[in-house]
Amino acid sequence: MLLDVNAIQKILPHRYPFLLIDGIEEMERWKRIVGIKNVTINEHFFQGHFPGKPIMPGVLIIESMAQTGGLLLLQEIPDREKKLLYFVAIDNARFRRPVVPGDQLKLEMNVVAWRGSFCKLEGRATVNGEMAAEATLMCKMVDLETEMPPTAQPAEKAQ
């Protein structure tokens, strides 16, 4: 394992319950990354999706892919703690098999293009070599300070 969850948290801003990758197995700078997500029955979303037939929501599989790709991109940014990656498009998303507790998702992301603050990645999520999902994801890197609203100042006490 190249990066464990502790190393991932030093790069990605996501935290429980929304950090959806557990490790990085392979990484080729600027080009490719392979991550893993261990899917367990303890995931918060299984309480309601679906009782008696737990299936990982497709949108969270796509988010796992995005976080894996985002880690590859942020790895290259020196001031990454001041940056965020926003989705700008998801194309050709296809879901081929359900992902259930006990599965290990292998998340393979490849950089197709990276120009300025925009990046396009193609990805696949597999379980035991079987395609679970695939999609083309596009994201934009933004400055955290210009994207976050100013913090509210406490109101003065009434006299």
Q: What is the pLDDT of residues 79-96, one digit of tens each?
A: 988 999 999 999 999 999
User: Which phi-psi region, left, alpha or beta, contains residue 34 (left: φ > 0; alpha: ψ -120 to 50)?
Assistant: beta
- For residues 114-140, average pLDDT: 97
CATH of domain 5-144: 3.10.129.10
Rounded to the nearest integer, the mean pLDDT of the chain is 92
- For residues 105-111, average pLDDT: 98
Q: Which of 125, 17, 19 is nearest to 70 (CA)?
A: 19
- Bridge-based pairing of strands 23-28 and 104-115 is unpaired
Place 156 in a pLDDT band, splitting at 50, 70 and 90.
low
Q: Which of 15, 43, 37 is nearest to 104 (CA)?
A: 37
- Residue matched to tokens 């030093």: 10
Q: Which residues are catalytic?
A: 49
Q: What is the pTM of this model?
A: 0.90
What distance in Å separates the CA atoms of residue 127 and residue 137, rounded to the nearest whole number?
20
The domains of the chain are located at: 5-144
What distance in Å separates the CA atoms of residue 95 and residue 134, rounded to the nearest whole number?
7
- For residues 101-126, average pLDDT: 97
Examine the pLDDT at 158 and tell me if it is beyond 50. no
What distance in Å separates the CA atoms of residue 110 and residue 123, rounded to the nearest whole number?
6
Q: Which class for 21: exposed (0-12), middle (13-18), buried (19 or more C-beta within 10 A)?
A: buried
pLDDT of residue 150: 59
Residues 6+ apart with CB under 8 A from 65: 107, 109, 123, 124, 125, 133, 135, 137
Examine the pLDDT at 40 and tell me if it is beyond 50. yes
Q: Residue 69 corresponds to which tokens in the numbers above?
A: 């790709």
Q: What is the pLDDT of residues 64-81, one digit of tens each?
A: 999 999 999 999 888 988
- For residues 108-137, average pLDDT: 97
- For residues 17-27, average pLDDT: 97
